């Protein structure tokens, strides 16, 4: 596939790494972010600056967005100076976690201007974004997927989940629900073990050798909680947002979320306690406080 000009709105922790990979693959990328600190390193690599999402969408036919919340997605797509006002854009690709409800609204609004909306949320964190190993959950018309496939493969492994707006978002929310649940229950289990006098590293080793193994025991607790670094790289407040979105979508569908509701409650308390910008692994601290113990070194 011939290299082409792309647009990218939102060059934060995830977006910046995706843009970097696109540039390294030979694509010309026009970018916009509200933070100069986020733009400057990419501009040094050759990315072109734009003054607004609309300006990005006037420079490229395919425009990506990686922004933190559904209201921001709506603003950068349908709001004043948004992507909808672009003169060249034909395809909008949302790699944010937006939720199916808002994604459908965005798709409907852009369709009125002849722009096809693609939801392609990603999972895999900062490391996956850097290495190009993200799981990319795509829903869009099949012909559009064929167009995007060579580009999206630069950032990760593709999963074509459906043709309707919002199906990729639903898949992402389910993924994050399971990830959050694993972290929540593993936090409780390890804290209980420590309070009973067990070594937390041994507890995790046993879990990982048997049927209790999950993403939290494999990738989070031993690497980020026990050393007390809490540097997994995904924000507690953002995870809380994602689980709240998931609960809302489940409620709209009439799908039961008994365990999910308990996880949402723990996340809400942990976010209030540790702060919106805390690492998701810091939900362990909330459980520690209730138990009166600490997992790992002082």
**Within 13 Å, how many C-alpha atoms sit on residue 39's CB side?**
14
Collapsing DSSP states into helix, strand and coil, what is residue 51?
Answer: coil
CA pair distance 194, 297, nearest whole angstrom: 12
Whose CA is closest to 105, among 89, 82, 128, 134? 82
Q: Which of 172, 220, 222, 285 is catalytic?
A: 172
CA distance 246 to 173: 5
- H or E segment to which residue 245 belongs: helix 236-253
Place of tokens 């390193």: 41
- Whether residue 172 lies in the annotated active site: yes
Q: Which SS3 state, helix, strand or coil, does residue 9 take? A: strand
Rounded to the nearest 10°, the torsion over CA 11, 98, 179, 128 is -30
Closest CA to 167 of 140, 194, 128, 145: 140
| Residue position matching structure tokens 């990419």 | 42
List, by residue number, the catalytic residues.
172
């Amino acid at each position: 596939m011939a290299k082409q000009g792309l647009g990218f709105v939102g060059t934060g922790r995830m977006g910046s790494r995706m843009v970097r990979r696109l540039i390294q693959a030979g694509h010309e990328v026009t970018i916009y972010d509200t933070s100069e600190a986020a733009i400057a390193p990419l501009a040094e690599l050759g990315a072109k600056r734009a003054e607004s999402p609309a300006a990005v969408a006037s420079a490229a036919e395919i425009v990506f967005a990686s922004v933190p919340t559904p209201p921001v997605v709506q603003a950068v797509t349908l709001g004043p100076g948004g992507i909808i006002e672009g003169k060249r854009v034909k395809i909008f690709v949302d790699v944010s976690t937006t939720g199916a409800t808002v994604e459908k609204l965005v798709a409907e609004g852009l369709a009125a201007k002849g722009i096809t909306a693609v939801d392609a949320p990603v999972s895999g964190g900062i490391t996956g974004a850097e290495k190009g190993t993200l799981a990319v959950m795509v829903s869009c018309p099949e012909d559009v997927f064929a167009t995007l496939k060579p580009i999206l493969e630069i950032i990760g492994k593709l999963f074509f989940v459906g043709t309707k707006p919002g199906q990729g978002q639903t898949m992402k929310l389910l993924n994050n629900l399971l990830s959050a649940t694993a972290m929540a229950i593993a936090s409780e289990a390890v804290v209980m073990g420590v309070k009973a006098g067990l070594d937390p590293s041994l507890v995790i080793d046993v879990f990982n050798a048997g049927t209790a193994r999950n993403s939290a025991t494999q990738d989070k607790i031993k690497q980020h909680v026990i050393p007390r670094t809490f540097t997994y790289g995904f924000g507690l407040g953002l995870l809380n947002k994602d689980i709240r979105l998931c609960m809302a979508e489940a409620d709209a569908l009439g799908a039961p979320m008994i365990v999910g509701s308990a996880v949402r409650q723990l996340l809400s308390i942990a976010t209030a306690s540790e702060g919106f910008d805390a690492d998701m692994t810091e939900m362990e601290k909330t459980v520690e406080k209730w138990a009166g113990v600490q997992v790992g070194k002082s």
